Chain A
Amino acid sequence: MTVEKPKTRIVEIEPLTRVEGHGKVTIHLDDDHNVVEARLHIVEFRGFERFIVGRLLWEVPVIVQRLCGICPVSHHLAAAKAMDAIVGADALPPTAEKMRRLMHYGQIMQSNVLHFFHLSSPDLLFGFDAPAKKRNLFGVIREHPELAKRGVLLRKYGQEVIQYTAGKKIHGTGAVPGGINKNLPLHERDALLRDIERMTAWARDAVEIAKNYTVENLSQVSRFANFKSNHLSLVREDGALDLYHGNLRAIDAGGNVIFDQLEYTRFNDYIMEEVRPWSYMKFPFIKSRGNLDGWYRVGPLSRMNNASFIDTPLADKEHRELRALTAGKPNHMSLAYHWARMIEVLHCVEKIHELLLDTDLQGTELRASGSRREEGIGVIEAPRGSLFHHYKVDEHDQVTYCNLIVSTTHNNSGLNRAVTDVARKYLSGKKRITEGLLNHVEVAVRAYDPCLSCATHALGQMPLVVELHDAEGRLLHRNGQYVDQATLGRDA
């Protein structure tokens, strides 16, 4: 007897907009218009891990940031940290470490602000199903010019911090293996100090906006893509939030520790990535919990769930408030990421202020070195979550191996859970699926601020039968290469 396969209809959201990078969502519906599944596909690839092989070690921190122009500093610094290990710089001179931290706080500040004000605020201000025409930054500028301007100027400040530490707002060169290539002259410090009070005040307001949104819309926020998961992030030795350096902590959905104070150089023993055929992005999981239950989330909300406290007073107070909402248990609400993200902006502004007053930034010892190693791992908390860089370098300074697990990849399972949850709740059974309804799904994706740009670094492969025509319509290229699936694998 042949069983007839139920027909499914597929609705695509493509391209995803107001997210960074390239991706699409497919929603699979059965005959009765019920949502069977929804998937976030990463549709692009780079091949970075393969083509970086053979490049020189000093080039890596500069090249790697071109994976992603949204948080280039995170890649720049994670690679630099890995290269520190390779050149044997186990402790950086204080000037170097603090300049890098300054750069990183500037980065998280600008990236989180960009996400909240430029990309997500239209959904929160106008409603998820507001007309597409006004649902964007330009709509916010028209209707809430003061708010939009603050967003623009907060981001600008973060970008200036990056410019002064890395030499350029996007794709700078500040960090080098073993240290940094410049300190912060007094006139640059003073330029940044001039505006810091205003930034602090605006960051506090931003937390207020995000918090009020969460609390005032709690019935929706606690219904919308609120699902249990594990959470992973770096924490400092005393359990404090630390965005630049620390050890790994993972907790389960109930807040119990899975592992804690794990040196990040050992991540390969604890985390593994699964391949699924419909996305170029892999699915990492915690080995001890298996591929079905071991998936976890990362990013601002996970960091809030994991951190015992925050070492700057204003952000610490806000952190306690956020934790109180779920009585100290992990908060699993996707939309609460926005609130967590703004608390981090406030934390970064406080940290920047603290650093600007530190005379170590005018120090002249910029680099360290020691005895050479073959392998280096650098981990950092990027705006979107933990970012892992792992390299091997031979005696000619050439890279022989590279593996990156970027924040959005860590969040892959969470993102897919989020789109499925929202699609089921809002789309199931609807005969006509409107643009506004589909935007709900994108709102769920946006909550994670996924950087689909970085997530595409892994080189995938497809059967290729592609024709390319030039401007005059001439056939430029036809490729009929096909790689049999069975040939995959070194020992196949």
Chain B
Amino acid sequence: MSRRKKRVATVSLAGCFGCHMSLLDMDERILDLLEDVEFDRSPLTDFKQFTRRCDIGLVEGGCCNEENVHTLQEFRNHCDVLVAVGQCAIMGGLPVMRNAIMHSDDPLRECLDEAYASSPRVYNPSNQIPNDPALPLLLDKVYTCVDVVKIDYQIPGCPPSGDVLYAALSALIHDRPPELDHASIRYD
């Protein structure tokens, strides 16, 4: 009997989707990869929840709202190996720049005004702000993945290139260390 395929799940939390795009930059190698891998919960499939326990979880982005935290915890609970992919997952990335304005005296007011206050450009006669049960609650600041759950591996880069992701994923699938030259691992 052939070996069971490894099950991989992926998710984009507070990221820009660039890491997922980079995953697709494996190009035709993804066709070979599918010999050994099947994708479970992922924005690339229509599995919105885990259908089974997964071997590998790839996480893009950190946490900026309660839903991100919840999803990340679910990934931890359902994946044997959890990998933080890219700067946002590892260090917060661009979204974390919002933490810096939190040093202002009244940051929320400032941000609100910037985005939604009525002005010659913004039509908001009742000055309402988006506030609906369908919108998840925001966290006071953006958290990285390791702030919230245990992370097994980190793949740096913004985004890590398709080559790096391919090497890392193949290594994980075959339980061996990745073959990567030093120059391809970078923080940018």
Q: Which residue numbers of A lie inside 8 Å of B, CB to CB?
A: 12, 14-15, 17-22, 24, 26, 39, 41, 43-51, 63, 66-70, 72, 114, 118, 132, 135-138, 141-142, 145, 148-149, 152-153, 155-156, 159, 169-171, 268, 272-280, 282, 285, 291, 403, 439, 453, 458-466, 468-471, 476-477, 479, 481, 483, 485-490, 492
* Chain A residues with CB under 8 A of B122: 272-275, 282
Distance of A24 Cα from B43 Cα, bound (Å): 12
* Chain A residues with CB under 8 A of B109: 483, 487-488
Interface 1/0 per residue, B81-121 and A, CB below 8 Å: 00000000000011101101100000011111111111011
B95 touches A22 (CB 8 A): no
B151, closest chain A residue (CB): A471
B94 touches A50 (CB 8 A): no
Give the B interface residue count (CB, 8 A).
79
The secondary-structure label for the interface of chain B is mixed
Distance of A324 Cα from B53 Cα, bound (Å): 52
* Chain B residues with CB under 8 A of A274: 122-124
Interchain nearest-CB distance for B107 vs A (Å): 8
Which 10 A-B pairs rank lowest in CB-CB distance, beginning with the nearest? Answer: A69-B18, A278-B132, A66-B94, A47-B98, A275-B124, A69-B16, A136-B45, A459-B111, A274-B123, A132-B46
Interchain nearest-CB distance for A194 vs B (Å): 16
Interface pairs (26), CB distance under 8 Å: A41-B134, A45-B64, A46-B14, A47-B101, A67-B94, A69-B19, A69-B22, A70-B17, A72-B18, A114-B24, A153-B28, A268-B120, A273-B123, A274-B124, A275-B130, A278-B134, A291-B123, A463-B131, A470-B147, A476-B148, A481-B108, A483-B108, A488-B129, A489-B113, A490-B117, A492-B127
A17 touches B100 (CB 8 A): no
Distance of A153 Cα from B20 Cα, bound (Å): 17
Q: Which residue numbers of B lie inside 8 Å of A, CB to CB?
A: 12, 14-22, 24-25, 27-28, 30-31, 34, 38-39, 42-48, 63-67, 69, 76, 93-95, 97-98, 100-101, 108-118, 120-124, 127-132, 134-140, 143, 147-150, 158-159, 161-162, 188
Q: Given the known A-B contacts A272-B123, A462-B130, are A171 and B158 also in contact in the complex, defined by CB atoms under 8 Å?
A: yes
Interchain nearest-CB distance for B72 vs A (Å): 10
Partner of A481, one of B39, B48, B95, B140: B140
* Chain B residues with CB under 8 A of A291: 123
* Chain B residues with CB under 8 A of A282: 116, 122
Partner of B139, one of A145, A149, A479: A479
* Chain B residues with CB under 8 A of A481: 108, 140
B138 touches A169 (CB 8 A): no
B135 touches A280 (CB 8 A): yes
Interchain nearest-CB distance for A264 vs B (Å): 15
* Chain B residues with CB under 8 A of A488: 109, 112-113, 116-117, 127-129
